[in-house]
């Protein structure tokens, strides 16, 4: 039975080995994305329901980090042929004050209010900011940051314990990935 599954020629063996290498690479890449995303969530004391925005921000950052695999170049550099600009990077989950003038319907409304930085927009050239009171996400180019204040940390003083209990609610497939990363759930 075991001999029947063995490849019959060298090309089949080579094809099987390259498939295994690709699978290992994809697993490592997925683990890296999950690891960076969970680190961003934990640092900002944000609940797990923001995992989608967190993983988009993680991918944005990973694509601007240099990699040993491509001779210490960034994926951004490889695709666009120029070095990425790091001057606009901000701390994920920090307090920010976006310009809300384009969103206002009356001229006496506030031009800004405290929000939480959610990452970088893929559609518009702007930054995504979450208004905790209204639950709205604003995209604005003009944002003032206070990178030492994390609004979710004051809302959830035991965010680490809360994140730990939320991780226990994940499906078994994702829990297996976390165990591969070495995280004890």
In whole angstroms, what is the distance from residue 97 CA to residue 75 CA? 31
CA quadruple 15, 21, 24, 28: dihedral sign:
negative
- The pLDDT tens digits of the residues spanning 16-46 come to 555 656 677 778 888 888 889 988 988 888 8
- The vertex-87 CA angle with 61 and 120, nearest 5°, equals 45
pLDDT band at 1 (very low <50, low <70, confident <90, very high): very low
- The shares of helix, strand and coil residues in the chain, as percent rounded to the nearest 5, are 50, 15, 40
CB-CB contact of 156 with 45 (8 Å): yes
Write out pLDDT tens, residues 102-120: 766 677 667 778 999 999 9
Domain ranges of the chain: 14-84+156-185, 94-149
Burial of 75 (0-12, 13-18, 19+ CB in 10 A): middle
The dihedrals phi and psi of 126, each to the nearest 5 degrees, come to -170, 180
| pTM (2 d.p.) | 0.70
Kindly tell me if the per-residue pLDDT of 172 is higher than 70: no
Task: Say if CB 115 and CB 129 are below 8 A apart.
Answer: yes
């Amino acid at each position: 039975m075991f001999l029947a599954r063995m490849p019959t020629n060298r090309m089949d063996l080579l094809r099987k080995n390259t498939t295994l290498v690709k699978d290992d690479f994809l697993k490592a890449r997925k683990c890296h994305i999950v690891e960076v995303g969970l680190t961003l969530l934990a640092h900002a004391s944000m609940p797990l329901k923001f995992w989608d925005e967190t993983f988009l921000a993680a991918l944005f950052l990973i694509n601007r980090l240099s990699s040993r695999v491509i001779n210490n170049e960034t994926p951004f550099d490889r695709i666009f042929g120029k070095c990425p600009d790091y001057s606009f990077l901000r701390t994920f989950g920090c307090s920010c004050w976006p310009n809300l003038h384009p969103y206002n319907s009356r001229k006496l409304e506030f031009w800004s209010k405290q929000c939480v930085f959610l990452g970088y927009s893929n559609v518009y050239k702007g930054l995504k900011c979450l208004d905790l009171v209204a639950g709205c996400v604003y995209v604005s180019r003009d944002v003032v940051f206070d990178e030492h204040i994390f609004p979710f940390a004051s809302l959830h003083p035991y965010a680490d314990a809360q994140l730990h209990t939320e991780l226990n609610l994940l499906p078994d497939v994702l829990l297996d990935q976390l165990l591969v990363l070495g995280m004890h759930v």
